[in-house]
Each structure stands twice: as C-alpha cells, then as structure tokens.
Structure 1
Amino acid sequence: MSASSRTVPQEQLPSEDLHPRPMPVINLGHLSLDSRTRSGVVNEIAKACRDLGYFQVINHGISQAIMDRAVEAASSFFKLPSETKEEYSSDDLRQPVRYDTSSKDSISMSRAFLKHYAHPLSDWIQYWPQKPPIYRDCMGRYAVEVRRVALLLMEAILEGLGLDKGYLKEKFQEGLQLLSVNSYPKVSHGATAIGLAPHSDYGFLTILLTSCQGLEVLDRSSKSWKTVQQLPHALHVHIGDHMEVLSNGQIKTVIHRALLNPEEARMSIASIHGFALHEKVTCATELVDEENPQKYKESSFSDFLDHLTANMDNKQRNFLESLRM
C-alpha cells in the first residue's frame, strides 16, 4: 500500500530557492461566511491550485489538542520494540496496515512508515495497532477531523474549476482515505540528508500534519525547491495525481520531498484522499471540448496498486505518465 505515484531523478531537480515566494495561507473558516467572502476564498484556493499545486490552511476547525495527540500517538508507535512494529511488515501493497523501514517503495531513503486505511473508520480501525494504547483513539479522532477538512476543500476546488460544489459528492463521501504516518531520524548538523525522495502523491488531495520543518515543494515558476514553513496550527495541502486527471490538466500535481531535520526527529501524518478502491477517475466531461481534448485515461486506486506491483524494480514508476493520452 503506497501513496506515491512517481519518483523524480535527483539530478534532474534544482537546488534550494534562496528567495522563495510566500506560500499561500488560506483561512478556511471564511468558507462558511457570506457568499461574497466565500467566493473570495474559493478564488484564493483556485489560484493556489492552478499556479502552485500547494497551499496551507488555518482556522480549519481541528483543535490543537487533537493534532498534538495524533503526533504523540505516532511517535509512541515508532518507539515500540522492533518486533512489535514488524508484526505489520508486509511486501503486499494491498494489506490494510503496512509498516516498513526499507526503500522498497523506491522513494523512502531514511524513514520508517506505517500506512493504513481510515475511511470508513469503523471498517478499518480494527486492523490498526493496539499498541500504544492511545493509538486507535487519538489517530482515529484526527482521521475523522482531517477528512472533514478534505471534503470542504474538495467542494471549494470543484467550484474553482467551474463545476458544481456537489459534483460527484457521493463518490467523494464514500471515497478512500489513507493515512501515511512517517518517522524521520534527526540528522547531524552540516549534513544534508533526504528522508523521502522527490515524488508526487496518488489521489486528489494530501493534507499533511508535521511536528517540525522538513517538507519541501518544487515551485514550478522558479524551478527550485521551496521550504514549507511551520506556521502555528496550520496544515499543508497539496494536489495529487488524480486531481490533475479530474481537472483535465488545469490543475497539476506537485512534486515534493522530505529533508531530515538537524534539530530533532520529525514526525508527519499525511492524509491522502481519493475515490474508493475500484472507482474510476476520469477527466470531468465539463472540462473537455474541442480546444481541450481529454488528456488522461481513466484509472482507479486498484489500477495504481497494480501498476506499482508490476513495476517494483523500476525506480521511475510514474503512474501519472502512464495515464497521459
């Protein structure tokens, strides 16, 4: 079970941007205000999606306590004895819970991860680790809250594309949520170490909660890496491959990577949102015409897993490129 659809050779990517543009920070609470204010926020989100493929959100309605407890639960899991964690080790990408520390996914360079499904929570929580004792409760509460945020964002993004905010509402509500819980070690001062190689994510949206700085995104305009700043109580959002497909290329997926932090070990919780396992994603017919023909073939999360399984030895397993027409 992996959420990363493509890797990018390091030598093809640029160095750090010394003068990065400010990252958009969007107040999600304004979506529930009057129609004029909502329209302004929708336009902000649409611009960030089209120009960058990433932004941060504040006033999202998830309490700091719920976020802190989720990070604490994640940290406590990775502190467990190796034999306890390795009960969840598997080479089968379709396992409901999977733990690993290796580079089998071709992008993990220095991290341990635990991946598991989270929606519907009642279907999946029974497979989650029972140790530490706080894990299911704390991570479950966060999973429910961050999914609510994802659905709000999907409505706004669809509006920004000129689609009805209820477009495919049932499919999004019944869709897949995958949590990728990651632990990155502290790196010594002066060293530059990559914990997770450059890649894009499967799905429509990824919402990321991190314990400290380390995430970088590839800025398309400057062709350089941009550090994601740690703002109080903010969540980072980036666009996934299937959003690029749904928008028929109007919105692009974002390449990102994780660096190791010299100050402390880093925890991150990525919540990845897509359609159900076998539900096909295709270009919205409303966004296809003679001037903008369909650019991508349809595909599902199951197709994505099949692609990864068939290309295990290929370090450039680019799922999105396989969909281009």
Structure 2
Amino acid sequence: MRKLVIQEIALACREQGCFQVVNHGIRKSVMKGALEAASEFFKLSKEHKEKFVSADVQQPIRYDMSSRDGISTARSLLKHYANPLEDWVQFWPINPPTYRKKMGDYAVEIKGVSMQLMEAIFEGLGDKVGLAFHSDYGFITILLQSSAGFEVMHHEDDTWIAVPAIPGALHVHIGDNLEVLSNGQLKSLVHRTILNPDEPRISIASIHGLSMDEKVHCAKELVDEEHPEMYKESSFQESLDLLPSNMNNYKRFVESLKIDRDE
C-alpha cells in the first residue's frame, strides 16, 4: 500500500504539481479550531489588527490587506512564523484569547504531516537522490480552506482549475525550492484565489521552507549530460529579498533562477 501511495504522489507532483490529502491524522477539532481562530482574528477591530501592519516582509508576524493578482475584492492576511513553535508563539496575537492555543495546536500537527509528505515526495524522486530527509527541507505549502475559491494553473495549457474544498482534506502544492532540487522534474504550482464578495473565506497556508540562509541547489544525482543543471542555487532569504519586486511584476521567484543555456 505504501509503495502505491508513493507512486500516486510522485505522479501528481510531476503532472499537476499538487494533490489533496485525506486521512492525514490531524484531528477535525484541531482544524476547526485553527479556522475559527483565524476567522475571529479578522473580525477584530481595525485598531487590533493594525498593531501587526508592516511593509517588511521579513517580520516574524505581519498583517496586510491586498487586492493584487487581478482580484478586485480586497483580502486580508496575517503571516507569522510557527516553527519551532516555542521560538515564535510569543509574537502571535493575544486576541482573540484562544488564538495562540488553537493555531499552535494546528502548527504542531501540520508539521508532523509535512514531514511525512516530504519523505514520500523524496522517495518518489527515486532512491538515487542522496539527500537525507530533514525537517528544514520543506519545499511544500499545505492549504486548509473553509470554502472553495483556490485555483491552480494547468501546466500544459495554462488554464485555471478550481480546487474543490473537500471537508477535512488538505491541499498540498509544490514550491519553487522543490522544483530547483528536482532539477525541473517537479514543477512549482502557479495558483490564485478568487474571492466571493458574498461569502467570507478563511484559508491557512502552512509554508514549509528552508532555514533563512540555507542554500538549495539541483540534486547532483539528477544532473547528467542529458539533464544539465537547470537552476542556480538560492536561499529562502534571497527569495524574501526579491518578494516585493516580484509582487509588483507578478514574476515567480523560480523564473529568476533558471540558467540560460543559450548564453
């Protein structure tokens, strides 16, 4: 059974760049609690939320409102670090009073799921990849959503596909770092959110990435004469440095890492 699941995950990562997971082991009460905590935070007064406003994308916690990406209806977002929890929870909101407890419970459980998923994805790349599994090597985003609205772009024809909001399911998609590590075997996912002005939507995106200054490069086991190195190495810190300009020109970070073989 495990071998079959590994094969299915590998196929999804290569052809779609994403997949959904059920029976992942996270308690329904924990997922419900996290969504409730997020919803309660965004219902707070403007004064409460503005305490976390910052133009610095590297702040450990940051509140923002955005109408980018072709979306006319503004969206609110709260970003904060969560791993290891004991290092970052002190920066989290104290209102609503249950926020730290509910979101902390989810952060702990989603970390465990992410490690299992990454182990499966690395196995799917083949035994020849000699990269030991490590909790720092995330490379994926795990999305929990309260309702539909998340769309992904099909790799072959650039059409948008709506992701169904399956109760209790987690949506997993490949990030730029994993595309680099796999030397292009796996493709990071282009995605967007379509907002419904008549229905509030809450989503929690758990981004599992490298430590700030740790470099990721194409795995040497996946590079040969037929498959030359396609990307330059980079760190999470470098992606943050480029984030403000990339948001303005809608450019993906991984595009800036591609090696031009015609030069």
- Report the TM-score, using the length of structure 2 for normalisation: 0.92
Are residues 1:151 and 2:115 paired? yes
Q: For residue 145 of structure 2, what is the aligned residue in structure 1?
A: 210
Q: For residue 324 of structure 1, what is the aligned residue in structure 2?
A: 258
Q: For residue 36 of structure 2, what is the aligned residue in structure 1?
A: 72
The DSSP-based 3-state class of the residue aligned with 1:76 is helix
| Correspondence for 1:46 among 6, 10, 21 | 10
Q: For residue 48 of structure 2, what is the aligned residue in structure 1?
A: 84
Deviation per CA, 1:193-229, whole angstroms, max 9, x where unpaired? Answer: xxxxxxxxxx711100001111111122453211111
Q: For residue 115 of structure 1, what is the aligned residue in structure 2?
A: 79
Q: For residue 106 of structure 2, what is the aligned residue in structure 1?
A: 142
State which drifts further: 57-66 or 263-272: 263-272
Q: For residue 292 of structure 1, what is the aligned residue in structure 2?
A: 227
The DSSP-based 3-state class of the residue aligned with 1:220 is coil
Q: For residue 185 of structure 1, what is the aligned residue in structure 2?
A: none
Deviation at 1:163, TM superposition (A): 3.8
Q: For residue 11 of structure 1, what is the aligned residue in structure 2?
A: none
Report the Cα distance in structure 2 between the residues aligned to 1:117 and 1:220, rounded to whole angstroms: 30
Going from structure 1 to structure 2, the CA distance change for 1:215 and 1:71 (only over 3 Å counts) comes to: same
Going from structure 1 to structure 2, the CA distance change for 1:314 and 1:214 (only over 3 Å counts) comes to: closer
Report the Cα distance in structure 1 between the residues aligned to 2:46 and 2:93, rounded to whole angstroms: 13
Contact 2:144-2:171 within 8 A present in 1 as well = yes
| Correspondence for 2:162 among 212, 222, 227 | 227
State which drifts further: 209-218 or 106-115: 106-115
Give the unaligned 5+ runs of structure 1: 1-36, 176-202
Contact 1:156-1:165 within 8 A present in 2 as well = no
Contact 2:35-2:202 within 8 A present in 1 as well = yes
Deviation per CA, 1:274-294, whole angstroms, max 9, x where unpaired? Answer: 110110011111111111111
Deviation at 1:157, TM superposition (A): 0.6
Going from structure 1 to structure 2, the CA distance change for 1:108 and 1:278 (only over 3 Å counts) comes to: farther
Deviation at 1:107, TM superposition (A): 3.7
Aligned ranges 1:97-116 → 2 under 5 Å? 97-103=61-67, 106-107=68-69, 109=71, 110-116=74-80
User: How large is the RMSD of aligned CA atoms in angstroms?
Assistant: 1.9
- Report the TM-score, using the length of structure 1 for normalisation: 0.75
Q: For residue 283 of structure 1, what is the aligned residue in structure 2?
A: 218
Q: For residue 58 of structure 1, what is the aligned residue in structure 2?
A: 22
Q: For residue 175 of structure 2, what is the aligned residue in structure 1?
A: 240
Give the unaligned 5+ runs of structure 2: none
Code of the residue aligned with 2:79 in structure 1: it is K
Report the Cα distance in structure 2 between the residues aligned to 1:75 and 1:239, rounded to whole angstroms: 26
Contact 1:308-1:317 within 8 A present in 2 as well = no
Code of the residue aligned with 2:82 in structure 1: it is A
Contact 1:158-1:164 within 8 A present in 2 as well = no
| Correspondence for 2:191 among 256, 269, 292 | 256
Code of the residue aligned with 1:319 in structure 2: it is F
Contact 1:155-1:166 within 8 A present in 2 as well = no
Contact 1:155-1:165 within 8 A present in 2 as well = no
Deviation per CA, 1:134-179, whole angstroms, max 9, x where unpaired? Answer: 1000001101111111111110111110147983323xx145xxxx
Q: Percent identity?
A: 55
Q: For residue 161 of structure 1, what is the aligned residue in structure 2?
A: 125
Q: For residue 249 of structure 2, what is the aligned residue in structure 1?
A: 315
| Correspondence for 1:96 among 15, 38, 60 | 60
Deviation at 1:244, TM superposition (A): 0.4
Going from structure 1 to structure 2, the CA distance change for 1:133 and 1:166 (only over 3 Å counts) comes to: farther
Report the Cα distance in structure 2 between the residues aligned to 1:59 and 1:307, rounded to whole angstroms: 37
Report the Cα distance in structure 1 between the residues aligned to 2:51 and 2:183, rounded to whole angstroms: 41
